[in-house]
Structure 1
């Protein structure tokens, strides 16, 4: 019995040390990852050529390896920046979002990366929490221009586009649209599902969004969420659905990939689907640790294991002492 108690104490103590290491890792992630170029240039007018390329990815949150391959491919295309249209995260913890920033920093360097919120980035088990997302990626509705193109980013992560957002969009387009040759609108949940007999789209406010966008000569709408590349029309505007870059593929999508978009002063934006890989791959260890065992949880578990191990060891020593007497 005494030997069993001592062995149990050793196991608990070892577990305590392990979770202490995970807690330290969590603190390291928390304090070292923030990078300003993952925040959008909200409200900025950026000088640049009228002819340029940018990439759009979406729905990467469940697998790291496909996203890794996709980002490597994008780096060969000489893009000015990358949009991620949401569902990056496995967890809403700050540690996990800091891991995402480190992941991007290691692979993209100085290439700007602008996020759009997805439902899995701000909602879990029916509860909305935007703190981690905003800390890592900034505003949820914003606009900026590059060259002669205006980009408008909309938060449709809750499958709605409420009155305050409608007013913001109307004011933004009425003030700025006439100053730019092109205008591209990006969001996570699309206003409509372009697939026949499917409705994986906004629950409400699509008509209100249609009334606003139809007035301002929008070149195209780009969205994610469906996990399948597709094309459609909304408010007489071309609608493109981005293929997934890590989450489960649906429909006829056979490969993870992204959209490569090219703009020009005398022509409409050109959009090309780029296929990269058909393998779901794996999750990297640090991703799982940052999402499933963040620093606070690890510290609590570590402390519990260490305290329990000392209690068990004390009980074993006390029993051994009584046995000798």
Structure 2
């Protein structure tokens, strides 16, 4: 009887403690839960709004930061932010996917805790690690659409999900039809840029879609370059020998990032230069 009474008292004590924690919203019952502060939802839309509030005049040169794969390298993010904030003339930063390691919303928020200290907005594209478990839904909750585009100044940016393996190579990712529709029109811009996570010659890219993807980019008017993450190393080249330059990003772990500067020359053709920054 004494044992039963003590057990019951312990159970009541635990229930009260859990109730108090739950009432304060301090207890997260699942690591896959999306609950979190409202200011860390729809971050893509919020950062695009910040861009719109600081427009770039027509004809002005655009400078932006290109990096990728923050994943578990959170201890490198603080120094990256400090370095970026020391640069001048930057419009925004793009992160080429794999913001998280295990597709958890809390990981994405941890990265945002650092990146929201940037003096400039930042934008992301979804990576394969961001789709682990229910990561796809978490990414959409924290950031927003998997495929989207926007125009800033004279440049149109097209961001597309190319993580084919996460869809079991179903022949629909990347969405070639959507990409073709986006690249056909500059929407008033003078050049365009495509950003994805998995590059088209990688084993995680659907091999059935490699050729149509490359052909779509080769046919895109005024394409400056195509950007990607995933490999964790900087690369620059034309792997298809079709005139399209592909540039891969450093991961956060490499303590380096790239500043890209884009403009149109006297013949109205897109030009760029890049600079690697170590921090």
Higher relative contact order (CA 8 A, sep 6+): 1
Query: Residue 209 of structure 1: CA displacement?
Result: 0.4
Question: Do structure 1's residue 140 and structure 2's residue 146 form an aligned pair?
Answer: yes
Match of 2:223 among 218, 221, 226: 218
Alignment correspondent of 1:87 = 98
Which whole-Å CA distance do the structure 2 matches of 1:268 and 1:19 have between them? Answer: 60
Match of 1:48 in 2: 56
RMSD of the alignment, in Å? 3.6
Q: Which residue of 2 aligns with 1:289?
A: none
Unaligned ranges ≥5, structure 1: 193-198, 247-254, 277-325
Q: Does the residue aligned with 1:61 lie in a helix, a strand or coil?
A: coil
Do structure 1's residue 34 and structure 2's residue 40 form an aligned pair? yes
- Alignment of 1:123 with 2:132, yes or no, is yes
Whether the 8 Å CA contact 2:164–2:173 is kept in 1: the answer is no
- Residue correspondences, number: 252
Looking at structure 1, the residues matched to 113 and 17 of structure 2 have their Cα atoms a distance apart, in angstroms, of 25
User: 2: CA distance between counterparts of 1:171 and 1:232?
Assistant: 25
Output one character per residue of 1:178-213: Cα deviation in whole Å (capped at 9) or x when no partner: x43221111100112xxxxxx555232110101111
Q: Distance in 2 between matches of 1:257 and 1:18?
A: 44
Aligned to 1:263: 262
- Aligned match of 1:104: 115
Q: How does the TM-score come out when normalised to structure 2?
A: 0.75
Residue 31 of structure 2: aligned partner? none
Bigger share in helix: 1
2:119 matches 1:113: no
Question: Does the aligned pair in 2 maintain the 1:259–1:274 contact within 8 Å?
Answer: yes
Q: What is the CA–CA distance in structure 1 between the aligned matches of 2:101 and 2:275, rounded to whole Å?
A: 28
* DSSP 3-state at the match of 1:183: strand
**In structure 1, C-alpha distance between the alignment counterparts of 2:138 and 2:173, rounded to whole Å:** 25
TM-score (norm 1): 0.65
1:207 maps to which of 206, 211, 217: 211
Q: Does 1:275 align with 2:275?
A: no
Partner secondary structure for residue 40 of structure 2? coil
- How far the C-alpha of 1:80 sits from its partner, in A, is 1.0
Name which of structure 1's ranges 91-100 and 71-80 shifts more when overlaid on structure 2.
Answer: 91-100
Number of the residue aligned with 1:155: 161
Report the secondary structure of 1:89's partner residue: coil
Greater gyration radius: 1
CA distance in 1, matches of 2:20, 2:114: 23
Aligned twin of 2:247: 240
Which region of structure 1 is more displaced relative to structure 2, 267-276 or 218-227? Answer: 267-276
Cα distance change, pair 121–47 in 1 and its aligned pair in 2 (3 A): same
In the alignment, which residue of structure 2 is the partner of 1:166? 176
Shift of 1:36: 5.2
Q: Which moved more, 1:33-42 or 1:79-88?
A: 33-42
Task: Give yes or no for contact 1:145–1:151 (8 Å, CA) kept in 2.
Answer: yes
Task: Answer yes or no: is the 8 Å Cα contact 2:70–2:111 preserved in 1.
Answer: no
For each residue in 1:287-318, what CA deviation from the matched residue of structure 2 results, as whole angstroms up to 9, or x when unmatched? xxxxxxxxxxxxxxxxxxxxxxxxxxxxxxxx
Q: How far has the Cα of 1:21 moved from its partner?
A: 5.9
- Following the alignment from structure 1 to structure 2, what is the Cα–Cα distance between the partners of residues 19 and 157? 41
Partner SS, residue 73 of structure 1:
helix
